[in-house]
Amino acid sequence: MHGDERLSYQALEYQANQLSHYLIEQGVSADMPVGVAFERGNTMLVAMLAVLKAGGAFLPLDPAYPNERLSFMLEDSGVDLLLTDSTLTAQVPCPNSIKSVYLDQQIMGSYSTDVPDVEFHQQQLAYLIYTSGSTGKPKGVALTHAGLSMHVQTIGERYGMTPDDVELHFASISFDGAVERWAVPLAFGSRLVIRDQALWSAEKTCDVLVQEGVTIACFPPSYVGPLLDWISYSKPNLKVRSWTLGGEAFTRETYDRLQQVLKPQRIINGYGPTETVVTPMIWEAYAETELSSAYAPIGTAVGERRLYILDPQLNRVPLGMSGELYIGAEVGLARGYHGRADLTAERFLPDPYGAAGERMYRTGDLVRWRDDGVMEYLGRIDQQIKIRGFRVELGEIESKLQLLSGAEHCAVVAHEAPGGKRLVGYLQQTDKAQITEFNEDVLLQRLAADLPDYMVPATLVVLAKLPLTPAGKIDRQNLLAPNWNELDDASYIAPEGETEVLLSQLWKTLLGV
């Protein structure tokens, strides 16, 4: 359901079948990508199901995304057909080479409501999801029917989904987690409530949770803060039995607030790169579960997936030691990157610990096994930088900063500065009193007690809110560098004596300042 528009399973099936027959008539067939661009609602769901039933692969396009990004996704994916509404022509730029079908102007009543007679194979393309690329251009991840089917079944069982459940669908449709959170409820006969295109306020979200009797709720951690504030204030009678957070780091402060405010039956931390079919790992916590680390663990495998922590030579590391996470599976991996054989070969490797022909995906995430058999996320391998000749893992600094500061969210960025790169820590604090009481010197001293001096940020910046990407993750590129001249002037102590003056001149010459 969306708003006042309610759709039964039978009506959803009939509408999707009718549209699928139309798509087959338009030439949609196996492995053919079809763009799907609608504002959030029932039509969005009908369109994606219809593309699957016709044998094609849907490419979900969020109209709220920037035009340049949408244009790139349409061109790079090679779609020939775009399903959309006539009201979105300005938001979703479609070149003349792509046929646009405006469903608000189409009448499908003459098409059969029967399931189309289409054959499928396991490795057939089901959908394309575009994720951020290191070159600045998004890359398309090609997901299969076998991977989606396996994941929907196994994650639904882990959630304990039943026809009595009601799930609020919240994530952007271009985010891979959104696919899981509509496919799973439908596969298990649950009721699905779709939020509006415009992001709801915490008050509106809370009202819907109560009015619709929502039992399964999934949010990005960055949205949960305001929601918990409102719930703490209004004390609504919620029926939510399971709260899932995913898409970005789940901090201990957020976890503690969830436990304090909601006293939930269960909390789930969902982890996974798009390339491994949404959430190949989850961590489940209950009312009595304590969290002592800075971030929630990423848990254990979902379904028939294999988890390896390996060193650069692909050897397993000892228990408790950190290494890079590789995920192996027979069907729980993407086919690869659309049109990027080079990148596919770089990230999807032969699995030396699996059966012949099986693959594993190199996540780029630094992790370790805990003594209790749960995996802990430590940061990104590609967040490693060199500071003063030392290789530094930014995620390790962020974890320590999070633990010591108690901030809602933290990020550490290496900015260019006079004399070379310098680290800057960013903290999100929405409590104005906490911001007022913030003592940078004390916190830096506490960091220095736990970290080498080259890993201690040069300065800390407190923000009311850290910038986020469209996917809801911290946007580090928009965390601007401080004014180094002002900082250096504020901490400058003039050299005294002949020796200090000489050393000062030598360092100025060496550093070019």
Where do the domains of the chain lie, and which CATH numbers do they carry?
Answer: 1-120 (3.40.50.980), 388-482 (3.30.300.30)
| Residue pLDDT, tens place only, 368-424 | 999 999 999 987 787 767 776 666 778 878 888 988 888 888 999 998 887 678 899
CA distance readout (Å), 65 to 130, 453, 470, 471, 474: 12, 41, 7, 10, 16
206 closest CA partner among 234, 244, 181: 234
- Is the pLDDT assigned to residue 312 strictly greater than 90? yes
pLDDT at 496 > cutoff 80: no
Structure confidence at residue 389 (pLDDT): 60
- Res. 106: pLDDT tops 50: yes
pTM of the predicted protein model: 0.80
3-class DSSP state of 231: helix
Checking if the pLDDT of 509 tops 80, the result is no
Encoding tokens for residue 372?
A: 């209790």
Structure tokens at 335: 């086919």
- Whether the pLDDT of residue 483 is over 50: the answer is yes
Give the three-class secondary structure for 233. helix
How many C-beta neighbours within 10 Å does residue 209 have?
A: 22
Specify the amino acid at residue 182.
W
pLDDT class for 493, splitting at 50, 70, 90?
low
- pLDDT for res 436: 46
Q: What average pLDDT does this structure show over 43-56?
A: 98
Which pLDDT does position 419 carry in this prediction? 62
Task: Identify the three-state secondary structure at position 472.
Answer: coil
Asked if the model's pLDDT at residue 489 lies above 70, the reply is no
Helices (H), 348-429: 394-405
Higher-confidence residue of 10 and 2: namely: 10
pLDDT category at 473 given cuts 50, 70, 90 is: confident
431-471 pLDDT, tens digit per residue, is 544 544 578 899 999 998 888 787 899 999 999 889 987 76
CA distances from 21 to 14, 17, 28, 126, 491 (A): 11, 6, 9, 17, 71
pLDDT digits (tens, 9 = 90+) for 118-176: 999 999 999 999 987 655 578 999 999 999 999 999 999 999 999 999 999 999 999 89
The C-alpha atoms of residue 110 and residue 183 are separated, in whole angstroms, by 27
What's the pLDDT at 471? Answer: 67
Chain segment 64-95, per-residue pLDDT in tens: 988 888 999 999 999 999 999 999 999 998 98
pLDDT at 432 (0 to 100): 45
